[in-house]
Amino acid sequence: MTPPPNTLLTPATENAQVKATNGCGCSSSSSATDGLDEKMRTRIEKHPCYSEEAHHHYARMHVAVAPACNIQCNYCNRKFDCANESRPGVVSELLTPEEAAHKVLVIAGKIPQMTVLGIAGPGDPLANPEKTFRTFELIAEQAPDIKLCLSTNGLMLPEYVDRIKQLNVDHVTITINMVDPEIGSQIYPWVHYRRRRYKGLEAARILHERQMEGLQALKEADILCKVNSVMIPGINDQHLVEVNRVIREKGAFLHNIMPLISAPEHGTHFGLTGQRGPTPKELKTIQDNCSGNMKMMRHCRQCRADAVGLLGEDRSQEFTKDKFMEMAPQYDLELRQEVHSGIEKFKEEIKLAKAKVKPSERVKDSPKILVAVATKGGGIVNQHFGHAKEFQIFEVDANEAKFVGHRKIDQYCQSGYGEDATLEYVIQAIADCKAVLVSKVGECPKAELREAGLQVVEAYDVIEKVAREFYDQYLQTQPS
Ligand code: CLF
Ligand code: SF4
């Protein structure tokens, strides 16, 4: 099998057509679209957040048009972007709706794989309804193939579901951290609702009721709803199973449990009071506990309010305001459709490649292991160890290699040299894995990885194939 060149979303290939090649490429095997009917599959197949499979191939962008917020979360500092959909400590450049539309048209030309425009801050989009809806209107008029997406704390959602429907926004995220106001009062010190500020239990009760009402209204309007929950150990970690049950019953499509990221330098209440975030293991355990009930999102990267690119990459610095305002819009619907159909063909080949490594019958009770994968996208092991800024984590057994998360790391190789301290930290981040799958790695880090008990597999091929081949070898070395 000849692996395809990694043509997806590298700056050098902007505008490049993505070609289908012979028998290559792969994403995780248990497709997030399994079990969905055709209509639903079509609604999510190009949305990188709603479809795990799509996130290997399609990109999203955010425009930061919504500065105000109407609640206070204890994990948020208003100097930074909304932490419900972004990493704390990040500040985005604020845009007007017209500037935002210009930016979208520029990026739609430069990154034709960008299929979704989300508004997720830097405050709450529905606390800034004019700016949010004006932006959506401009984009719907000028770039009709781009899906519109919105993320909100839910306080004002019931008021705006009709408007959202009318604008053809098909994907809405609500951040729901509790369904019990007692727990909510430990997360939200106040909400500002209908010209009044409410505190404590009353604030949490209002927010909870509005979130439930909004979720119900989205369901009735047939708008796909994802729920984000921030996992806060000791406050709502055990409670998230109940949140999962309630949102499922109310018709949410997908649940994304994200770790609290909390550091004193972010200046948040939780950061300053020493509230810790969950470990990767704690996060996975709660996601696993909920996964029997509904689809869980495990590929969220907690991106910025001005994020651009594939979920695992950040190209926002290529499109700062001073840069994109100098660029001419290059939106070309025909070219975009051509690129998308290339990606769809490529995905078909991926499916075939995956089918080839799948056993004809399900193997019972095969042990599971984790492997760490360096990839630039496309579902292929195609990144040098030293260039990785994150590892995708796959859980592998005799039946499948399943994407279960990612680990952010500092890039090991800086200006051609590897940093020992960074390597130590990288090894720690993936210490629970049995192997690291990379396109290439230097001799020095390879030896240290092996010494730390991690096997190193160098390959340039379908993730699933490489992972399963390693798994078979690994089993042979284990005592029976
Ligand atoms: Fe943006 Fe959110 Fe839409 Fe995606 S992000 S508004 S649903 S287009 Fe995606 Fe980013 Fe996670 Fe959000 S990875 S933080 S879930
Ligand atoms: Fe901050 Fe977002 Fe919460 Fe508002 S909703 S306080 S911007 S995290």
Q: Give, for ligand 1, the residue of 85, 86, 92, 169 to mutate: max count of ligand atoms closer than 8 Å to Cβ.
A: 85
Q: Is 82 in the pocket of ligand 2 (CB under 6 A)?
A: yes
Ligand 2, atom nearest to 121 Cα? 7
* Minimum CA distance residue for ligand 2 atom 4: 69
pLDDT of residue 359: 83
Paired tokens of 18 = 């993505």
What the chain holds in terms of domains, given with CATH numbers, is 14-324 (3.20.20.70), 359-477 (3.30.420.130)
Residue 376 DSSP one-character state: S
Q: Which one of the ligands is nearest to 50 CA?
A: 1
Q: Which helix (H) or strand (E) holds 296?
A: strand 296-297
* Minimum CA distance residue for ligand 1 atom 9: 49
* Minimum CA distance residue for ligand 1 atom 10: 303
Q: Which one of the ligands is nearest to 69 CA?
A: 2
What's phi and psi for 239, nearest 5 deg? -65, -20
- Residue 271 Cα to ligand 1 midpoint, Å, equals 23
Q: Is 383 in the pocket of ligand 2 (CB under 6 A)?
A: no
pLDDT of residue 208: 98
**Distance between CA atoms of 352 and 464, rounded to whole angstroms?**
12
Q: Is 70 in the pocket of ligand 1 (CB under 6 A)?
A: no
**Distance between CA atoms of 207 and 200, rounded to whole angstroms?**
11
Give the type of residue at 345: K
What does pTM read for this prediction?
A: 0.83
Residues 6+ apart with CB under 8 A from 341: none
Q: What is the mean pLDDT of each run of 10 residues along the chain (480 residues)?
A: 35 31 29 69 93 92 94 89 69 91 97 96 94 97 96 98 96 98 98 96 98 97 96 97 96 95 90 93 91 85 87 88 94 95 90 82 90 91 92 93 88 74 88 95 92 94 92 86
User: Number of C-alpha atoms within 13 angstroms, CB side, residue 48?
Assistant: 29
Between the two ends of the chain, the Cα-to-Cα distance in Å is 32
Ligand 2, atom nearest to 72 Cα? 6
Q: Is 71 in the pocket of ligand 1 (CB under 6 A)?
A: no
Q: Is 32 in the pocket of ligand 1 (CB under 6 A)?
A: no
Cα separation values, 386 from 99, 312, 379, 420, 461, Å: 37, 16, 19, 12, 18
- Residue 472 Cα to ligand 2 midpoint, Å, equals 47
pLDDT of residue 33: 55
